[in-house]
Structure 1
Amino acid sequence: MRITDKDTAVLVVDFQEKLIPAMNEKEELIKTSGVFLTGIKELEIPMVVTQQYTKGLGATIPEIAECIGDYKAYDKLTFSGCGTEEIYSAIKALGKKNILVCGTEAHVCVLQSAIDLKTEGYNVFLVEDCIGSRKLSDKNNAIKRAMGEGILITCCESALFELTAAAGTPHFKAISKIVK
């Protein structure tokens, strides 16, 4: 199954001020996720951004907010983004069948959101190098569980170039610069 620019949206899960410092390999997670989201913005792929209990865990970190640009951060208390009607309605309103998921924590909010989206009939892709957990074993467990649920796994560059689809276009040139 291909990821196309016409049929795809991104769910950006909980890249928050009090969560990110505790993530395993946080510098690489921030860097790669920044590349991914900058590319997504360049390709004009719609995004839904969530924040888990913003009052306690803080806002989206500046490094990620900068890559996304203007966005509304949907606050949630449920771990799954689909557990909050406002968030699920925002995803549904986009009218896309493919959802790329990035964010934290892989084994909690990311996984539960992905499973719920899959259950609702979406083609769900975890962007493996743009999801994180405090422990690598938790991230690896989340990926295994997701695969068992029929969720597909991709990575930053693979997803961006699949969305770009062809060389020699303005988007190809822009994405090539972003990923370097």
Structure 2
Amino acid sequence: MPLIDPARSLLLVVDVQVRLMPAIAEAAGVVANAGRLTAAARLLDVPVLVTEQNAGGLGPTMPALAPEPGTAFPKMSFGATRTPGFLARLPADRDPVVTGCEAHICVLQTVLGLIEAGRRVRVVADAVGARRIENREAALARMAAHGAEIVTTEMVVFEWLGTARHRRFRDVLKLIT
């Protein structure tokens, strides 16, 4: 199924952490779009899973994206799939929609691990970041070459809605405009 179905989606927010974001190119846009996706997911009952890389060093998730206390998935491996228990946190009937940082390190390794595990993955291009734009672009190209579908925030949100008659349409539209 090519459309992004909210009943089959899980939003995966990878390492959007307070001490990392000041170093990320165009960080404000990445955080804003990840925030839009997180808010839309919550309105549309799409599960959200947040990872934190070395939280002692990089701090917690940005407040705008913060999960319920104690629910962030801690990791030290760059690729979340290398951390025991991570794949068990992803329901088998849910396709990950991925946002986060850094595109060419933790996002890339997590996405490649998910693909290797047989998952259908969408990466939200305008909601992933890196310190250097060329690293972000190279990572997106590599993930696409290995089977990840590259999408945008608005593609995801409007496919999750499906129709302007959706009961949450106006609430979600406020996130975009």
| Band of TM-score, shorter chain | over 0.9
Q: 2-side partners of 1:6 and 1:71: how far apart?
A: 25
- Out of 136, 157, 169, the position equivalent to 1:172 is 169
**Mapped contact 1:49–1:73 kept (Cα < 8 A):** yes
Deviation at 1:70, TM superposition (A): 5.8
Aligned to 2:6: 5
SS of 1:177 mapped into structure 2: helix
- TM-align CA RMSD: 1.3
Aligned to 1:75: 74
**Mapped contact 2:102–2:131 kept (Cα < 8 A):** yes
Task: Return the letter of the residue paired with 2:95.
Answer: N
Unaligned runs of 5+ residues in structure 2 are none
Post-superposition Cα deviations, 1:62-98, rounded to whole Å, max 9, x if no partner, equal 1221xx556611110111111112222111xx23341
Moved more, 53-62 or 166-175: 166-175
Q: 1-side partners of 2:147 and 2:18: how far apart?
A: 31
Q: 2-side partners of 1:70 and 1:37: how far apart?
A: 15
Number of aligned residue pairs: 176
Deviation at 1:26, TM superposition (A): 1.0
Task: Return the letter of the residue paired with 2:72.
Answer: A
Moved more, 167-176 or 154-163: 167-176
**Mapped contact 1:34–1:64 kept (Cα < 8 A):** yes
Q: 2-side partners of 1:175 and 1:97: how far apart?
A: 21
Moved more, 149-158 or 164-173: 164-173
Aligned to 2:59: 58
Aligned to 2:105: 108
**Mapped contact 1:49–1:71 kept (Cα < 8 A):** no
Q: 1-side partners of 2:36 and 2:18: how far apart?
A: 19
Q: 2-side partners of 1:71 and 1:157: how far apart?
A: 29
Task: Please give the TM-score of this superposition, normalised by the length of structure 2.
Answer: 0.94
**Mapped contact 1:107–1:142 kept (Cα < 8 A):** yes
Q: 2-side partners of 1:154 and 1:37: how far apart?
A: 15
Post-superposition Cα deviations, 1:140-173, rounded to whole Å, max 9, x if no partner, equal 0000101110110011111011011111121222
Runs of 4+ in 1 over 6 A off after TM superposition: none
| Higher percent of residues as helix | 1
Task: Return the letter of the residue paired with 2:75.
Answer: K
Aligned to 2:15: 14
Unaligned runs of 5+ residues in structure 1 are none
Q: 2-side partners of 1:169 and 1:17: how far apart?
A: 34
Task: Flag the 1:33–1:139 CA change in 2: closer, same or farther, 3 A.
Answer: same
Moved more, 77-86 or 129-138: 77-86
Task: Please give the TM-score of this superposition, normalised by the length of structure 1.
Answer: 0.93
Task: Return the letter of the residue paired with 1:88.
Answer: L
